[in-house]
Amino acid sequence: MEKLLKDILASMEKERDLYTELVELSTRKTDIIIKKKVDVLDKLVDLEQELITHIVDLESERQGLVERLSIEKNVDPESITLSSLIKWSDGDIRIRFESLKEEFDRIIDRQRHLNEVNSKLIKTNLEYIDFALNLMTGDGASGSIYEKKGKVSKGGQSRNLFDTKA
């Protein structure tokens, strides 16, 4: 069983490293979104996809190891958690599992925060683009323009940049 625990630990440490890289990319993404560098953002998203592919592969490997451990412990593989692994391990392996648990907690919290910030930034940018488009096309503008004396102007609204009538 100790060999399986060591293999699971090694797999999870690799996953932790990849998730740490993902957090670093998300941090860079925030700066790129602020600077509106769409071409760089596109490349960064491609890098994220590569990392996620590697994470999925490691997750599959880890799941296979957990299934083998579940047979040895005679438990349902779905019931095996990081806390179970900590309980079943001793010495250095136990300490490394405990450390992993703390690191994953920090990584998940950081990634969640970055995702929220990036989502808000993207939403704000999209709202600004929508506002700018509405200004150019005249959508949402009032139909009346008032003169100094408060009377409605007979000329109506000025011409828009784009002719929205087809």
CA distance 24 to 28: 6
pLDDT of residue 152: 61
| Global confidence as pTM | 0.73
CATH number for the region 2-137 comes to 1.20.58
Q: What is the mean pLDDT of the chain?
A: 85
pLDDT of residue 28: 92
Average pLDDT of the residues in 71-97 = 94
pLDDT tens column, 4-38: 999 999 999 999 999 999 999 999 998 888 888 88
pLDDT of residue 104: 95
CA distance 156 to 144: 6
Burial 64-93 (b: 16+ CB within 10 A, else e): ebbebbbeeeeeeeeebeeebbbebbeeeb
Pick from 11-25, 111-125, 137-151 the range whose average pLDDT is largest.
11-25
Average pLDDT of the residues in 85-112 = 95
pLDDT of residue 62: 95
pLDDT tens column, 75-87: 999 999 999 999 9
For residue 157, pLDDT beyond 60: no
What is the residue extent of each domain of the chain?
Answer: 2-137
